[in-house]
Amino acid sequence: MIGFRHTDRRFAFLWKGPEQPPGRWHGVGEGPAHYFADTPDGAWAEFLRHEEITSPEDLATIERTLWAVELPDDGYAEPHVPEELLTGGLPSYAVCQAEARRLIATGAVGLQTRAAALKAGGAAGWHVEDGLQRGPPRDGIVRVLFGPRPDLVGWRAAEGRPTEDLLPHVRHFTVP
């Protein structure tokens, strides 16, 4: 299975040590935790959400690397967190981090859940029928792998920026 993530163009696709800034599924000093979206749009949506980018004009300033990374096919735990916290803003992180600690204590090496940064149906993709058309709606998935992962192989898929048509599908921290 392939997962997608973006990085600053100067850096590799994985964190190596615990100095990683905290995120939804890991706290300070609990890294590395590696977050992967099931679609390129999902990876870009995470970036747009965290950087609070809501304007098409701001997209022109983005220059990042999008990576495609080969992930394990199975072994992901399912977190037990209410929907509003799975997709909530920064105050919901403490509950998600506690759930990740619980899963790790039971031996989980990763988790899988719905994408917080994409609205429901936002991982639709595209198909060609009388021109380029948005595909059927589907929810985005995020997979998180805990700890160092020297076994993962990644490929630079693109250097660039997300497209303007993604903005309405992002669940922003702030309302534009």
Q: What is the mean pLDDT of each run of 10 residues along the chain (176 residues)?
A: 95 90 94 96 95 94 96 96 93 97 97 96 91 92 97 96 94 72
Determine which helix (DSSP H) or strand (DSSP E) holds 152, and give its type and residue range. none
Dist CA 15 CA 7 (whole Å): 10
Which ranges in the chain belong to alpha helices (H)?
40-50, 56-59, 83-86, 93-105
Within 8 A by CB and 6+ apart from 134, the residues are 124, 125, 126
How confident is the model at residue 176, as a pLDDT?
44
Quote the pLDDT of residue 18. 84
Q: Note the pLDDT of residue 17.
A: 83
- Mapped onto helix, strand or coil, the DSSP state of residue 15 is coil
**Looking up tokens 């220059």, which residue turns up?**
63
